[in-house]
A = this chain, B = another copy of it.
Amino acid sequence: MSEDVAARVWRGMRGLVLERHERRKEVCDALGMSFIRVKALRLLAPGPLTLRRLAERLATDAPYTTIVVADLERRGLVERAPHPEDRRAKIVSITPEGVTAAELAERILGEPPSALLALDPADLDALDRVIARLLAAGS
């Protein structure tokens, strides 16, 4: 049954990501901040967002996002500026220091498990191809 295979694959992927290679604590220790702040920083790395949009991406509400952003701003990692077209909104953008921190986070979180690095190149390519398809599919 291919549903069983899918279930086994899914369990396997979850196990790899969530149990064997959870780097949450490591990255929080390295950056000296809570995980939601790391997440915010990574979300802002590609480009500025309004606070509201950031809140959505963080799956939290605006009030808490204000606190997170204020803290990151205090650390000099992000900046808040009024939105040029909508003066109600503010755009939150990452600073050079923030980029450095975000890159460190990416390096820690993105470091592939050794098993993945040790994988046979053909297997790795197969994995790469299929994962790309999964990501391309909407959900």
Contacts and interface: CB of A to CB of B under 8 A. Distances in A.
Interface of A: 2-3, 5-18, 20-21, 109-119, 121, 123-135, 137-139
A119 B132 CA distance: 12
Given A13-B13, A13-B16, A116-B6, A130 B133 contact: no
Copies held by the complex:
2
Contacts of A123: 129-130, 133
A96 B139 CA distance: 34
A138 B20 CA distance: 9
Given A17-B14, A116-B10, A134-B16, A5 B124 contact: yes
A2 B121 CA distance: 7
